[in-house]
Chains A and B, each alone.
Chain A
Protein backbone atom coordinates (compact mmCIF):
# COMPACT_ATOMS: atom_id res chain seq x y z
CA UNK A 1 0.00 0.00 0.00
CA UNK A 2 1.14 3.49 -0.78
CA UNK A 3 -0.07 6.10 1.72
CA UNK A 4 0.02 9.88 1.47
CA UNK A 5 -0.54 11.91 4.62
CA UNK A 6 -1.00 15.67 4.54
CA UNK A 7 0.06 17.62 7.60
CA UNK A 8 0.08 21.30 8.45
CA UNK A 9 2.35 23.22 10.78
CA UNK A 10 0.32 25.65 12.91
CA UNK A 11 0.93 28.00 15.85
CA UNK A 12 0.79 26.12 19.16
CA UNK A 13 -2.93 25.29 19.61
CA UNK A 14 -2.51 25.48 23.39
CA UNK A 15 -1.59 29.16 23.54
CA UNK A 16 -3.82 30.35 26.41
CA UNK A 17 -6.58 32.72 25.26
CA UNK A 18 -5.24 35.59 27.38
CA UNK A 19 -1.88 35.38 25.56
CA UNK A 20 -3.38 35.10 22.12
CA UNK A 21 -2.34 38.14 20.05
CA UNK A 22 -2.96 39.09 16.47
CA UNK A 23 -1.18 41.46 14.15
CA UNK A 24 -4.14 43.35 12.65
CA UNK A 25 -2.02 44.50 9.70
CA UNK A 26 -1.17 41.02 8.47
CA UNK A 27 -3.94 38.99 10.15
CA UNK A 28 -1.20 36.75 11.54
CA UNK A 29 -0.94 35.31 15.02
CA UNK A 30 1.88 36.68 17.16
CA UNK A 31 2.94 33.68 19.23
CA UNK A 32 4.00 34.40 22.81
CA UNK A 33 7.76 34.23 23.22
CA UNK A 34 9.04 30.75 23.78
CA UNK A 35 6.07 29.05 22.13
CA UNK A 36 6.89 26.69 19.29
CA UNK A 37 4.63 25.76 16.37
CA UNK A 38 3.16 22.27 16.26
CA UNK A 39 1.87 19.71 13.82
CA UNK A 40 -1.89 20.30 13.81
CA UNK A 41 -3.57 17.95 16.29
CA UNK A 42 -5.77 16.08 13.83
CA UNK A 43 -2.88 15.74 11.39
CA UNK A 44 -0.96 13.85 14.06
CA UNK A 45 -4.00 11.62 14.38
CA UNK A 46 -3.98 11.17 10.59
CA UNK A 47 -0.35 10.08 10.82
CA UNK A 48 -1.24 7.74 13.69
CA UNK A 49 -4.13 6.17 11.75
CA UNK A 50 -1.83 5.69 8.74
CA UNK A 51 0.88 4.08 10.84
CA UNK A 52 -1.62 1.59 12.24
CA UNK A 53 -2.73 0.63 8.73
CA UNK A 54 0.84 0.42 7.49
CA UNK A 55 1.88 -1.75 10.45
CA UNK A 56 -0.93 -4.11 9.55
CA UNK A 57 -0.75 -4.08 5.76
CA UNK A 58 2.80 -2.98 4.97
CA UNK A 59 3.73 -0.20 2.58
CA UNK A 60 5.23 3.25 2.37
CA UNK A 61 4.09 6.50 3.95
CA UNK A 62 4.85 9.82 2.29
CA UNK A 63 4.17 12.92 4.35
CA UNK A 64 3.44 16.13 2.45
CA UNK A 65 3.19 19.63 3.84
CA UNK A 66 2.68 23.00 2.25
CA UNK A 67 4.78 25.18 4.48
CA UNK A 68 6.94 28.18 3.65
CA UNK A 69 8.47 28.51 7.12
CA UNK A 70 8.93 25.01 8.52
CA UNK A 71 10.47 24.44 11.90
CA UNK A 72 12.35 21.29 11.03
CA UNK A 73 12.02 19.37 14.28
CA UNK A 74 8.27 20.07 14.21
CA UNK A 75 7.49 19.19 10.64
CA UNK A 76 9.66 16.06 10.88
CA UNK A 77 7.61 14.67 13.76
CA UNK A 78 5.58 12.42 11.41
CA UNK A 79 8.90 10.94 10.23
CA UNK A 80 9.96 10.36 13.82
CA UNK A 81 6.61 8.67 14.43
CA UNK A 82 7.45 6.19 11.68
CA UNK A 83 6.63 7.65 8.26
CA UNK A 84 9.06 7.06 5.41
CA UNK A 85 9.56 10.33 3.58
CA UNK A 86 8.72 14.01 3.71
CA UNK A 87 7.94 16.39 0.87
CA UNK A 88 7.72 20.11 1.55
CA UNK A 89 5.82 22.35 -0.84
CA UNK A 90 7.34 25.81 -0.78
CA UNK A 91 6.83 28.86 -2.95
CA UNK A 92 6.10 32.52 -2.33
CA UNK A 93 3.24 32.06 -4.80
CA UNK A 94 1.44 29.89 -2.21
CA UNK A 95 1.13 32.81 0.21
CA UNK A 96 -2.26 34.34 0.92
CA UNK A 97 -4.18 31.29 -0.22
CA UNK A 98 -7.34 29.71 1.17
CA UNK A 99 -8.67 26.17 1.51
CA UNK A 100 -9.31 25.98 -2.22
CA UNK A 101 -5.85 27.05 -3.38
CA UNK A 102 -4.21 24.92 -0.69
CA UNK A 103 -6.10 21.88 -1.96
CA UNK A 104 -5.05 22.74 -5.53
CA UNK A 105 -1.40 22.66 -4.55
CA UNK A 106 -1.82 19.48 -2.50
CA UNK A 107 -3.69 17.80 -5.37
CA UNK A 108 -0.85 18.63 -7.76
CA UNK A 109 1.60 17.11 -5.28
CA UNK A 110 -0.51 13.95 -4.91
CA UNK A 111 -0.62 13.61 -8.68
CA UNK A 112 3.11 14.10 -8.96
CA UNK A 113 3.74 11.34 -6.42
CA UNK A 114 1.10 9.22 -8.15
CA UNK A 115 -0.05 5.62 -7.58
CA UNK A 116 -1.37 6.19 -4.09
CA UNK A 117 -3.83 3.77 -2.52
CA UNK A 118 -4.89 5.94 0.39
CA UNK A 119 -4.68 9.58 1.36
CA UNK A 120 -5.15 10.81 4.91
CA UNK A 121 -5.62 14.31 6.23
CA UNK A 122 -6.78 15.76 9.52
CA UNK A 123 -10.46 16.63 9.82
CA UNK A 124 -9.57 20.30 10.28
CA UNK A 125 -6.44 22.30 10.86
CA UNK A 126 -6.25 23.81 14.34
CA UNK A 127 -5.46 27.31 13.07
CA UNK A 128 -8.33 28.29 10.77
CA UNK A 129 -10.55 25.35 11.74
CA UNK A 130 -11.83 25.15 8.18
CA UNK A 131 -12.43 21.44 7.73
CA UNK A 132 -12.41 21.84 3.95
CA UNK A 133 -9.06 20.88 2.47
CA UNK A 134 -9.52 17.10 2.80
CA UNK A 135 -12.88 17.14 1.03
CA UNK A 136 -11.59 19.50 -1.67
CA UNK A 137 -8.54 17.38 -2.27
CA UNK A 138 -10.65 14.24 -2.77
CA UNK A 139 -12.99 16.11 -5.06
CA UNK A 140 -10.10 17.46 -7.16
CA UNK A 141 -8.49 14.03 -7.38
CA UNK A 142 -11.84 12.41 -8.17
CA UNK A 143 -11.62 9.87 -5.34
CA UNK A 144 -14.15 9.00 -2.62
CA UNK A 145 -13.89 10.75 0.70
CA UNK A 146 -14.93 9.79 4.22
CA UNK A 147 -14.60 12.50 6.85
CA UNK A 148 -14.01 12.44 10.60
CA UNK A 149 -13.16 8.77 10.99
CA UNK A 150 -11.72 6.79 13.88
CA UNK A 151 -10.87 3.13 13.34
CA UNK A 152 -9.95 2.08 9.80
CA UNK A 153 -9.91 -1.26 8.11
CA UNK A 154 -8.95 -2.28 4.57
CA UNK A 155 -10.71 -5.28 3.07
CA UNK A 156 -11.09 -6.45 -0.55
CA UNK A 157 -9.82 -3.19 -2.03
CA UNK A 158 -12.12 -1.13 0.14
CA UNK A 159 -11.60 1.10 3.11
CA UNK A 160 -13.98 1.07 6.05
CA UNK A 161 -14.01 3.79 8.63
CA UNK A 162 -16.18 4.38 11.64
CA UNK A 163 -17.33 7.79 12.78
CA UNK A 164 -19.55 9.45 15.31
CA UNK A 165 -22.94 10.64 14.09
CA UNK A 166 -25.65 12.55 15.91
CA UNK A 167 -27.05 9.60 17.81
CA UNK A 168 -24.30 7.04 17.75
CA UNK A 169 -21.77 5.68 15.27
CA UNK A 170 -21.74 4.50 11.69
CA UNK A 171 -19.39 2.56 9.48
CA UNK A 172 -18.78 3.93 6.00
CA UNK A 173 -17.15 2.09 3.14
CA UNK A 174 -15.52 3.28 -0.09
CA UNK A 175 -13.39 1.68 -2.81
CA UNK A 176 -9.65 2.48 -2.95
CA UNK A 177 -7.98 4.76 -3.75
CA UNK A 178 -9.80 6.91 -1.25
CA UNK A 179 -9.22 9.81 1.10
CA UNK A 180 -10.19 9.82 4.76
CA UNK A 181 -9.93 12.61 7.31
CA UNK A 182 -8.97 11.74 10.87
CA UNK A 183 -11.14 12.76 13.83
CA UNK A 184 -10.92 12.46 17.61
CA UNK A 185 -12.09 8.87 17.31
CA UNK A 186 -8.58 7.80 16.20
CA UNK A 187 -7.55 8.12 19.83
CA UNK A 188 -4.07 9.06 20.91
CA UNK A 189 -1.09 9.58 18.62
CA UNK A 190 2.09 7.73 19.53
CA UNK A 191 5.10 9.54 20.95
CA UNK A 192 8.21 9.19 18.84
CA UNK A 193 11.18 7.54 20.50
CA UNK A 194 14.36 9.56 20.97
CA UNK A 195 16.25 7.26 18.60
CA UNK A 196 13.61 7.84 15.90
CA UNK A 197 13.67 11.61 16.45
CA UNK A 198 17.43 11.54 15.83
CA UNK A 199 17.01 9.41 12.70
CA UNK A 200 14.28 11.71 11.39
CA UNK A 201 16.57 14.68 11.96
CA UNK A 202 19.09 13.16 9.58
CA UNK A 203 16.55 12.50 6.81
CA UNK A 204 16.39 15.03 4.01
CA UNK A 205 13.04 16.46 3.02
CA UNK A 206 12.35 16.84 -0.66
CA UNK A 207 11.23 20.35 -1.66
CA UNK A 208 8.88 21.12 -4.54
CA UNK A 209 7.82 24.55 -5.78
CA UNK A 210 4.93 25.74 -7.95
CA UNK A 211 6.88 25.11 -11.13
CA UNK A 212 7.82 21.56 -10.11
CA UNK A 213 4.11 21.00 -9.65
CA UNK A 214 3.20 22.59 -12.98
CA UNK A 215 0.95 25.13 -11.28
CA UNK A 216 -0.02 28.40 -12.92
CA UNK A 217 0.69 31.14 -10.31
CA UNK A 218 -2.59 32.90 -11.12
CA UNK A 219 -4.54 29.90 -9.79
CA UNK A 220 -2.85 29.62 -6.40
CA UNK A 221 -2.14 31.69 -3.30
CA UNK A 222 -3.67 35.10 -3.00
CA UNK A 223 -4.31 35.29 -6.76
CA UNK A 224 -6.40 32.12 -6.85
CA UNK A 225 -8.15 32.35 -3.49
CA UNK A 226 -11.94 32.27 -3.55
CA UNK A 227 -12.37 33.71 -0.05
CA UNK A 228 -10.61 36.56 1.74
CA UNK A 229 -10.19 37.13 5.46
CA UNK A 230 -11.23 40.74 5.93
CA UNK A 231 -10.44 40.90 9.60
CA UNK A 232 -9.08 38.66 12.35
CA UNK A 233 -9.71 39.77 15.90
CA UNK A 234 -10.07 38.69 19.48
CA UNK A 235 -13.46 39.30 20.99
CA UNK A 236 -13.32 41.01 24.37
CA UNK A 237 -15.47 38.90 26.62
CA UNK A 238 -16.43 40.50 29.89
CA UNK A 239 -18.15 37.83 31.90
CA UNK A 240 -17.78 38.75 35.57
CA UNK A 241 -18.07 35.55 37.52
CA UNK A 242 -19.96 35.75 40.76
CA UNK A 243 -18.34 33.26 43.12
CA UNK A 244 -20.95 31.59 45.28
CA UNK A 245 -20.09 31.86 48.94
CA UNK A 246 -20.69 29.55 51.85
CA UNK A 247 -19.21 28.20 55.08
CA UNK A 248 -18.58 24.83 53.51
CA UNK A 249 -18.55 23.35 50.01
CA UNK A 250 -21.93 21.78 50.80
CA UNK A 251 -23.39 25.14 51.68
CA UNK A 252 -22.04 26.59 48.46
CA UNK A 253 -23.79 23.76 46.64
CA UNK A 254 -27.05 24.66 48.35
CA UNK A 255 -26.55 28.33 47.50
CA UNK A 256 -25.91 27.45 43.86
CA UNK A 257 -29.22 25.61 43.78
CA UNK A 258 -30.92 28.66 45.31
CA UNK A 259 -29.33 30.79 42.61
CA UNK A 260 -30.93 28.59 39.96
CA UNK A 261 -34.28 29.10 41.63
CA UNK A 262 -33.71 32.86 41.84
CA UNK A 263 -33.03 32.94 38.09
CA UNK A 264 -36.09 30.75 37.53
CA UNK A 265 -33.97 28.12 35.80
CA UNK A 266 -35.49 25.46 38.04
Chain B
Protein backbone atom coordinates (compact mmCIF):
# COMPACT_ATOMS: atom_id res chain seq x y z
CA UNK B 1 0.00 0.00 0.00
CA UNK B 2 3.02 2.21 -0.49
CA UNK B 3 1.05 4.43 -2.86
CA UNK B 4 -1.80 4.82 -0.40
CA UNK B 5 -4.30 2.55 -2.06
CA UNK B 6 -5.06 -1.10 -2.56
CA UNK B 7 -7.31 -3.56 -0.81
CA UNK B 8 -6.68 -4.67 2.77
CA UNK B 9 -8.29 -7.69 4.34
CA UNK B 10 -8.22 -8.35 8.07
CA UNK B 11 -7.06 -11.92 8.64
CA UNK B 12 -7.85 -14.27 11.47
CA UNK B 13 -6.39 -17.47 12.84
CA UNK B 14 -8.24 -20.59 13.81
CA UNK B 15 -6.57 -23.36 15.79
CA UNK B 16 -3.13 -21.95 15.01
CA UNK B 17 -3.58 -21.70 11.24
CA UNK B 18 -5.03 -19.10 8.90
CA UNK B 19 -8.81 -19.35 9.24
CA UNK B 20 -10.80 -20.59 6.26
CA UNK B 21 -12.80 -17.35 6.26
CA UNK B 22 -9.54 -15.49 5.72
CA UNK B 23 -8.95 -17.56 2.58
CA UNK B 24 -12.39 -16.48 1.42
CA UNK B 25 -11.57 -12.82 2.13
CA UNK B 26 -8.35 -13.17 0.14
CA UNK B 27 -10.39 -14.64 -2.69
CA UNK B 28 -12.80 -11.71 -2.92
CA UNK B 29 -10.01 -9.27 -2.06
CA UNK B 30 -7.98 -10.51 -5.03
CA UNK B 31 -10.97 -9.91 -7.30
CA UNK B 32 -11.44 -6.36 -5.99
CA UNK B 33 -7.74 -5.55 -6.14
CA UNK B 34 -7.51 -6.80 -9.72
CA UNK B 35 -10.47 -4.72 -10.83
CA UNK B 36 -8.89 -1.67 -9.21
CA UNK B 37 -5.52 -2.63 -10.69
CA UNK B 38 -3.99 -2.40 -7.24
CA UNK B 39 -2.36 -4.54 -4.57
CA UNK B 40 -4.01 -6.92 -2.13
CA UNK B 41 -2.72 -6.84 1.44
CA UNK B 42 -3.61 -8.88 4.48
CA UNK B 43 -3.09 -7.87 8.09
CA UNK B 44 -2.98 -10.24 11.04
CA UNK B 45 -3.02 -9.29 14.70
CA UNK B 46 -1.80 -11.69 17.35
CA UNK B 47 1.27 -12.99 19.11
CA UNK B 48 4.06 -15.02 17.49
CA UNK B 49 2.12 -15.40 14.27
CA UNK B 50 4.46 -13.96 11.62
CA UNK B 51 5.45 -17.37 10.29
CA UNK B 52 1.88 -18.65 9.91
CA UNK B 53 0.78 -15.33 8.42
CA UNK B 54 3.06 -15.93 5.44
CA UNK B 55 0.56 -18.49 4.24
CA UNK B 56 -1.56 -15.56 3.02
CA UNK B 57 0.81 -15.05 0.08
CA UNK B 58 -0.07 -18.42 -1.40
CA UNK B 59 -3.76 -17.58 -0.96
CA UNK B 60 -3.52 -14.38 -2.99
CA UNK B 61 -1.96 -11.59 -0.91
CA UNK B 62 0.71 -9.30 -2.40
CA UNK B 63 1.68 -7.96 1.01
CA UNK B 64 1.29 -9.33 4.50
CA UNK B 65 1.32 -7.14 7.59
CA UNK B 66 1.56 -8.40 11.15
CA UNK B 67 0.93 -6.61 14.45
CA UNK B 68 2.53 -8.64 17.19
CA UNK B 69 2.03 -8.10 20.94
CA UNK B 70 1.09 -10.34 23.86
CA UNK B 71 -2.20 -8.50 24.42
CA UNK B 72 -3.22 -9.30 20.86
CA UNK B 73 -3.08 -13.05 21.40
CA UNK B 74 -6.85 -13.06 21.95
CA UNK B 75 -9.24 -10.60 20.34
CA UNK B 76 -9.15 -7.45 22.47
CA UNK B 77 -11.61 -5.00 20.91
CA UNK B 78 -10.08 -1.63 21.77
CA UNK B 79 -6.51 -2.72 20.98
CA UNK B 80 -7.37 -4.32 17.66
CA UNK B 81 -9.43 -1.31 16.57
CA UNK B 82 -6.71 1.16 17.58
CA UNK B 83 -3.95 -0.62 15.69
CA UNK B 84 -6.03 -0.94 12.54
CA UNK B 85 -7.18 2.67 12.81
CA UNK B 86 -3.55 3.80 12.97
CA UNK B 87 -2.62 1.64 10.03
CA UNK B 88 -5.53 2.84 7.90
CA UNK B 89 -4.93 6.48 8.78
CA UNK B 90 -1.23 6.51 8.01
CA UNK B 91 -1.75 5.02 4.60
CA UNK B 92 -5.43 4.63 3.75
CA UNK B 93 -6.27 1.64 1.55
CA UNK B 94 -9.10 2.06 -0.92
CA UNK B 95 -11.04 -0.82 0.54
CA UNK B 96 -10.96 -2.76 3.82
CA UNK B 97 -12.74 -6.12 4.08
CA UNK B 98 -13.45 -7.98 7.33
CA UNK B 99 -15.13 -11.36 7.89
CA UNK B 100 -18.46 -11.72 9.69
CA UNK B 101 -17.02 -13.75 12.54
CA UNK B 102 -17.33 -13.26 16.27
CA UNK B 103 -14.38 -10.90 15.89
CA UNK B 104 -15.47 -9.17 12.70
CA UNK B 105 -19.00 -8.38 13.86
CA UNK B 106 -17.49 -6.38 16.71
CA UNK B 107 -14.38 -5.03 15.03
CA UNK B 108 -15.79 -3.76 11.72
CA UNK B 109 -18.19 -1.16 13.16
CA UNK B 110 -15.63 0.01 15.72
CA UNK B 111 -13.06 0.61 13.01
CA UNK B 112 -15.50 2.22 10.56
CA UNK B 113 -16.71 4.62 13.23
CA UNK B 114 -13.16 5.60 14.20
CA UNK B 115 -12.33 6.17 10.55
CA UNK B 116 -15.67 7.89 9.92
CA UNK B 117 -16.11 5.87 6.82
CA UNK B 118 -18.92 3.93 5.15
CA UNK B 119 -19.35 0.29 6.11
CA UNK B 120 -21.71 -2.34 4.70
CA UNK B 121 -22.16 -5.30 7.04
CA UNK B 122 -22.74 -8.96 6.33
CA UNK B 123 -22.38 -8.75 2.55
CA UNK B 124 -22.63 -11.67 0.18
CA UNK B 125 -21.15 -9.96 -2.87
CA UNK B 126 -18.65 -7.16 -3.42
CA UNK B 127 -17.67 -5.38 -6.57
CA UNK B 128 -15.95 -2.25 -7.78
CA UNK B 129 -18.10 0.00 -9.94
CA UNK B 130 -16.67 3.27 -11.22
CA UNK B 131 -13.93 3.03 -8.59
CA UNK B 132 -16.49 2.71 -5.77
CA UNK B 133 -17.09 -0.29 -3.55
CA UNK B 134 -20.61 -1.64 -4.09
CA UNK B 135 -21.75 -4.25 -1.62
CA UNK B 136 -24.76 -6.54 -1.92
CA UNK B 137 -26.31 -7.57 1.36
CA UNK B 138 -29.37 -9.50 2.45
CA UNK B 139 -31.74 -7.25 4.43
CA UNK B 140 -35.15 -7.56 6.07
CA UNK B 141 -34.24 -10.95 7.47
CA UNK B 142 -33.10 -12.19 4.08
CA UNK B 143 -36.33 -11.30 2.29
CA UNK B 144 -34.67 -8.66 0.12
CA UNK B 145 -31.25 -7.64 -1.13
CA UNK B 146 -29.73 -4.18 -1.07
CA UNK B 147 -26.90 -2.84 -3.19
CA UNK B 148 -25.03 -0.38 -1.03
CA UNK B 149 -22.55 2.21 -2.17
CA UNK B 150 -19.99 2.27 0.62
CA UNK B 151 -19.16 5.90 -0.06
CA UNK B 152 -16.26 8.07 -1.20
CA UNK B 153 -14.22 8.14 2.00
CA UNK B 154 -11.13 5.95 2.05
CA UNK B 155 -11.08 3.18 3.01
CA UNK B 156 -14.58 2.07 2.03
CA UNK B 157 -15.41 -0.89 4.29
CA UNK B 158 -17.41 -4.09 4.07
CA UNK B 159 -17.76 -7.21 6.15
CA UNK B 160 -18.55 -10.39 4.26
CA UNK B 161 -20.51 -13.40 5.34
CA UNK B 162 -18.62 -16.61 5.98
CA UNK B 163 -18.81 -19.08 3.07
CA UNK B 164 -20.18 -16.47 0.68
CA UNK B 165 -16.84 -16.10 -1.13
CA UNK B 166 -14.54 -18.58 -2.82
CA UNK B 167 -10.95 -18.98 -1.72
CA UNK B 168 -8.27 -19.23 -4.45
CA UNK B 169 -6.31 -22.39 -5.16
CA UNK B 170 -3.18 -21.94 -3.00
CA UNK B 171 -0.13 -21.15 -5.11
CA UNK B 172 3.00 -22.05 -3.14
CA UNK B 173 5.22 -20.18 -5.59
CA UNK B 174 3.83 -16.91 -4.30
CA UNK B 175 6.15 -15.74 -1.52
CA UNK B 176 7.02 -12.54 0.27
CA UNK B 177 8.31 -10.86 3.39
CA UNK B 178 6.04 -10.09 6.31
CA UNK B 179 5.97 -6.39 7.23
CA UNK B 180 5.68 -5.71 10.94
CA UNK B 181 3.36 -2.85 11.90
CA UNK B 182 3.32 -0.72 15.02
CA UNK B 183 1.54 -2.76 17.68
CA UNK B 184 1.81 -0.40 20.60
CA UNK B 185 -1.43 0.06 22.47
CA UNK B 186 -2.44 1.94 25.57
CA UNK B 187 -3.34 -0.83 27.97
CA UNK B 188 -5.59 1.54 29.94
CA UNK B 189 -7.79 1.78 26.87
CA UNK B 190 -8.36 -1.98 26.84
CA UNK B 191 -11.60 -1.70 28.81
CA UNK B 192 -13.50 -4.79 27.78
CA UNK B 193 -12.01 -8.09 28.75
CA UNK B 194 -12.99 -11.70 28.64
CA UNK B 195 -13.13 -12.99 32.20
CA UNK B 196 -14.24 -16.53 31.52
CA UNK B 197 -15.22 -18.88 28.77
CA UNK B 198 -16.85 -22.23 28.44
CA UNK B 199 -15.70 -24.02 25.32
CA UNK B 200 -17.78 -26.83 23.99
CA UNK B 201 -15.60 -29.49 22.41
CA UNK B 202 -17.58 -30.49 19.36
CA UNK B 203 -17.72 -34.25 19.11
CA UNK B 204 -17.01 -35.46 15.64
CA UNK B 205 -17.07 -33.08 12.71
CA UNK B 206 -17.24 -29.34 13.29
CA UNK B 207 -20.40 -27.68 12.05
CA UNK B 208 -18.51 -25.13 9.96
CA UNK B 209 -16.41 -27.77 8.24
CA UNK B 210 -19.06 -30.45 7.79
CA UNK B 211 -19.79 -31.81 4.30
CA UNK B 212 -23.27 -32.73 5.44
CA UNK B 213 -25.31 -30.71 7.90
CA UNK B 214 -28.52 -32.06 9.37
CA UNK B 215 -30.58 -29.12 10.56
CA UNK B 216 -33.19 -29.59 13.25
CA UNK B 217 -36.05 -27.29 14.12
CA UNK B 218 -38.85 -26.89 16.59
CA UNK B 219 -40.61 -29.79 14.88
CA UNK B 220 -38.20 -32.20 16.59
CA UNK B 221 -40.29 -31.81 19.70
CA UNK B 222 -37.88 -32.80 22.47
CA UNK B 223 -34.30 -33.05 23.61
CA UNK B 224 -34.50 -36.82 23.39
CA UNK B 225 -35.57 -36.63 19.78
CA UNK B 226 -32.65 -34.31 19.12
CA UNK B 227 -30.30 -37.19 19.93
CA UNK B 228 -31.71 -39.05 16.94
CA UNK B 229 -30.57 -36.23 14.69
CA UNK B 230 -27.14 -36.36 16.26
CA UNK B 231 -26.92 -40.08 15.62
CA UNK B 232 -27.98 -39.57 12.02
CA UNK B 233 -25.45 -36.78 11.54
CA UNK B 234 -22.69 -38.93 13.04
CA UNK B 235 -23.48 -41.78 10.65
CA UNK B 236 -23.38 -39.33 7.75
CA UNK B 237 -20.00 -38.01 9.01
CA UNK B 238 -21.77 -34.70 9.31
CA UNK B 239 -22.82 -32.26 12.01
CA UNK B 240 -26.07 -30.95 13.46
CA UNK B 241 -27.24 -27.37 13.02
CA UNK B 242 -30.31 -25.78 14.52
CA UNK B 243 -32.88 -23.00 14.28
CA UNK B 244 -33.86 -20.29 16.67
CA UNK B 245 -37.02 -22.28 17.26
CA UNK B 246 -35.06 -25.33 18.41
CA UNK B 247 -32.73 -23.21 20.57
CA UNK B 248 -35.67 -21.42 22.19
CA UNK B 249 -37.15 -24.80 23.07
CA UNK B 250 -33.83 -25.78 24.62
CA UNK B 251 -33.27 -28.82 22.38
CA UNK B 252 -29.71 -27.81 21.58
CA UNK B 253 -27.00 -25.33 22.41
CA UNK B 254 -26.97 -21.86 20.92
CA UNK B 255 -23.64 -22.30 19.17
CA UNK B 256 -25.30 -24.69 16.71
CA UNK B 257 -27.81 -22.08 15.49
CA UNK B 258 -27.71 -21.22 11.81
CA UNK B 259 -29.02 -18.05 10.25
CA UNK B 260 -28.70 -14.37 9.75
CA UNK B 261 -27.75 -13.66 13.34
CA UNK B 262 -25.85 -16.86 13.95
CA UNK B 263 -23.65 -19.16 11.87
CA UNK B 264 -23.43 -19.59 8.11
CA UNK B 265 -22.54 -22.92 6.60
CA UNK B 266 -22.09 -24.08 3.01
CA UNK B 267 -22.12 -27.87 3.09
CA UNK B 268 -22.61 -30.23 0.18
CA UNK B 269 -25.99 -31.14 1.70
CA UNK B 270 -28.24 -29.31 4.12
CA UNK B 271 -31.03 -31.60 5.28
CA UNK B 272 -33.68 -29.63 7.17
CA UNK B 273 -35.84 -31.66 9.55
CA UNK B 274 -38.87 -30.08 11.25
CA UNK B 275 -37.80 -26.62 10.10
CA UNK B 276 -40.32 -24.16 8.65
CA UNK B 277 -37.77 -22.35 6.49
CA UNK B 278 -38.00 -18.77 7.80
CA UNK B 279 -35.91 -16.36 5.73
CA UNK B 280 -33.77 -15.50 8.77
CA UNK B 281 -32.78 -19.14 9.10
CA UNK B 282 -32.32 -19.80 5.39
CA UNK B 283 -29.92 -16.87 5.18
CA UNK B 284 -27.37 -19.00 7.00
CA UNK B 285 -27.63 -21.99 4.68
CA UNK B 286 -28.24 -20.52 1.21
CA UNK B 287 -24.75 -21.33 0.05
CA UNK B 288 -25.30 -25.05 0.55
CA UNK B 289 -24.92 -27.06 -2.63
CA UNK B 290 -28.06 -29.14 -2.10
CA UNK B 291 -30.93 -28.32 0.25
CA UNK B 292 -33.47 -31.02 1.15
CA UNK B 293 -36.23 -31.10 3.71
CA UNK B 294 -38.50 -33.32 5.74
CA UNK B 295 -41.59 -31.52 6.99
CA UNK B 296 -45.12 -32.66 7.69
CA UNK B 297 -46.58 -29.51 6.16
CA UNK B 298 -46.51 -29.51 2.35
CA UNK B 299 -46.94 -25.73 2.37
CA UNK B 300 -43.97 -25.04 4.66
CA UNK B 301 -41.72 -22.39 3.10
CA UNK B 302 -38.74 -24.72 3.48
CA UNK B 303 -39.86 -26.59 0.36
CA UNK B 304 -39.52 -23.41 -1.68
CA UNK B 305 -35.83 -23.46 -0.85
CA UNK B 306 -35.38 -27.18 -1.34
CA UNK B 307 -34.40 -29.18 -4.36
CA UNK B 308 -36.19 -32.20 -2.99
CA UNK B 309 -38.32 -32.95 -0.01
CA UNK B 310 -40.44 -35.43 1.83
CA UNK B 311 -43.83 -34.42 3.19
CA UNK B 312 -44.33 -36.42 6.33
CA UNK B 313 -43.74 -36.63 10.06
CA UNK B 314 -40.05 -37.07 10.64
CA UNK B 315 -40.85 -39.78 13.21
CA UNK B 316 -42.18 -41.87 10.31
CA UNK B 317 -39.62 -40.92 7.67
CA UNK B 318 -36.32 -40.64 9.44
CA UNK B 319 -35.83 -44.17 10.84
CA UNK B 320 -36.13 -45.77 7.40
CA UNK B 321 -34.01 -43.02 5.86
CA UNK B 322 -31.35 -43.49 8.51
CA UNK B 323 -31.26 -47.25 8.08
CA UNK B 324 -31.02 -46.98 4.29
CA UNK B 325 -28.26 -44.38 4.52
CA UNK B 326 -26.26 -46.70 6.75
CA UNK B 327 -26.79 -49.56 4.37
CA UNK B 328 -25.75 -47.53 1.34
CA UNK B 329 -22.71 -46.12 3.05
CA UNK B 330 -21.58 -49.56 4.15
CA UNK B 331 -21.46 -50.69 0.51
Contact = CB atoms under 8 A, between A and B. Distances in A.
Interface of A: 11, 13, 15-17, 20, 22, 27, 29, 98-100, 103, 123-124, 126-132, 135-136, 139-140, 144-148, 160, 164-175, 178, 183-185, 188, 226-235, 237, 239-244, 248-254, 256-261, 263, 265-266
A228 B320 contact: no
Contact of B248 (A129, A188, A257): A188
Contacts of B202: 167
A67 to B, nearest CB: 18
A127 B316 contact: no
B114 interface: yes
Contact of B310 (A240, A253, A258): A253
8 contacts: A128-B140, A135-B106, A167-B200, A226-B117, A241-B309, A243-B303, A256-B317, A256-B321
Nearest to B158: A227
Interface residues of B, number: 90
B268 A168 contact: no
Contacts of B121: 129-132
B92 to A, nearest CB: 14
B310 A242 contact: no
B269 A265 contact: yes
Contacts of B244: 184
A183 B144 CA distance: 22
Nearest to B114: A139
B120 interface: yes
A175 B122 contact: no
B144 A233 contact: yes
Interface string B207-251: 010001000000000000000000000001000000010011000
A169 B255 contact: yes
Nearest to A133: B109
Interface in B67-83: 77-78
A240 B305 CA distance: 8
B148 A127 contact: no
A225 to B, nearest CB: 8
Given A136-B112, A167-B201, A184-B261, 15 more contacts: A100-B113, A100-B118, A103-B113, A139-B114, A173-B192, A183-B261, A226-B151, A229-B148, A230-B147, A232-B145, A237-B304, A249-B317, A258-B324, A260-B328, A266-B329
Nearest to A29: B140
Contacts of B304: 237, 239, 241
A185 B254 contact: yes
